[in-house]
Amino acid sequence: MAALENQLDRVQLERVSAAVDRIVAAKERGGRVVVVTGSGPNLHEGVTTLVAELMRLGVVDGVTTSSAVVAHEMGGVLDKVKRVDGRVLGLSEEVLPRGGTCELSMLDDSVLNEIAEYMPLGGHLMARFQAAEVNVIIKAAGNLGYPLGLYLERIAVEILQLARRHGTTFEAVAGHGADERTMIGIGSRRGLQRGCNSNSTA
């Protein structure tokens, strides 16, 4: 901890100390601590896994975040993808994101086969992806890589239906299948999602 503190300037240290004091004061009076975080601090930066650990320890009682972060946590931790200019693959610019790049998730055969049982895969498109001479990069999970991104979008519809049917939150249902080192995973195991709004993970 001392090594980390040495990297912070005086203002940052004062803010950390103030945050600790407020958390301790809230806990001592029987209050709850909720973290509010946007899409910036993703899993690959370690922020959300740190929050998940604080949830496991009982320091953090809830989190409100974006649907993008929930998608990252549903996808895992990191995603290995091939990033390709979609126009090289013969795709129309109308279906491509801004910048024209698209991604292929580099998945194990077992995972790919499991997805193929759930939805049809574009074999010709994947073959063109595989043949493209580009670098493989590692990025935050659950983004736009094909087919993982599309799979998560489709299964999210079913998760939402289950959540509504059982009167609980999306994150509570999704968390059953998530790693306990994610916020939705530990939140589901600790029962922290109940009674929260649709944008919260706890």
Task: Please report the pLDDT score of residue 164 as a whole number.
Answer: 96
Of the pLDDT bands very low, low, confident and very high (cuts 50, 70, 90), residue 199 is very low
One-letter amino acid at 108 equals D
Quote the tokens at residue 59.
């320091």
18-24 average pLDDT score: 93
Asked if residues 152 and 79 have their Cβ atoms less than 8 Å apart, the reply is no
172, 111 in Cβ contact below 8 A? no
Q: What is the reported pTM?
A: 0.75
Confirm if 153 and 50 have CB atoms less than 8 A apart: no
Q: What is the mean pLDDT of the chain?
A: 84
Q: What is the mean pLDDT of residues 134-150?
A: 81
Rounded CA-CA distance 170/175 in Å is: 8
| Dist. CA 151–CA 21, nearest whole Å | 43
Is a pLDDT exceeding 50 seen at residue 138?
yes
Percentage of the chain with pLDDT > 90?
35
The arithmetic mean of pLDDT across residues 123-143, rounded, is 81
Phi, psi of 73 (to 5 degrees): -70, -35
What H or E segment, with its residue span, contains residue 166?
A: none
**Lowest-confidence pick of 114-123, 135-144, 173-182:** 135-144
Between these two residues, 7 and 17, which has the higher pLDDT value?
17
At 125 the pLDDT is 83
